[in-house]
């Protein structure tokens, strides 16, 4: 079984500030981890993924995430927030059954 925990439902940052969105996972097998972004009334867009290899992964739009097995975490960061980053962000894990399990999502707001 696998699960994802995204604490909090809303994060607000100022434009230009650091973005940190937290994700912790539980998996009985080595996990594949994903971050997706969803804009209103749209589908999901893959930001980045971790499968194997380098634990620091870089994605689109300046986002990156670090897989920390000892902490069972896969937090998403971006050094400098942009207004266009305002959206819903989902962390997801897949395991042996190849099904994606999503966290409940977190809304990112960016203040001018």
Nearer Cβ to another protein (42/84): 42
Nearest to 18, CA basis, from 81, 82, 60: 81
Q: What is the DSSP string of 44-105?
A: EEEEEEE-SS-SEEE-GGG-EEEEETTTTEEEEEESS--GGG-EEEEEEEE-TT--EEE---
At closest approach, how far in Å is the CB of 24 from another protein? Answer: 15
| Interaction of residue 104 with another protein, rule CB under 8 A | yes
> Which of 25, 35, 89, 90: binder of another protein (CB under 8 A)?
90
Interaction residues for another protein, span 11-70 (CB under 8 A) = 32, 36, 41-46, 49, 51
DSSP state of 16: T
Positions in the binding site for another protein (CB under 8 A): 32, 36, 41-46, 49, 51, 90, 94, 98-100, 102-105
């Amino acid at each position: 079984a696998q699960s994802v925990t995204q604490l909090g439902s809303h994060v607000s940052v100022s434009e230009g500030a650091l973005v940190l969105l937290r994700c912790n996972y539980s998996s009985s097998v080595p996990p594949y981890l994903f971050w997706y972004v969803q804009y209103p009334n749209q589908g999901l867009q893959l930001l980045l993924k971790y499968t194997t290899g380098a634990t620091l992964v870089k994605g689109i739009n300046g986002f990156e995430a670090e897989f920390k097995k000892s902490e069972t975490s896969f937090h998403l960061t971006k050094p400098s927030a942009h207004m266009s980053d305002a959206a819903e962000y989902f962390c997801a894990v897949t395991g042996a059954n190849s099904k994606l399990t999503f966290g409940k999502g977190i809304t990112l707001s960016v203040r001018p």
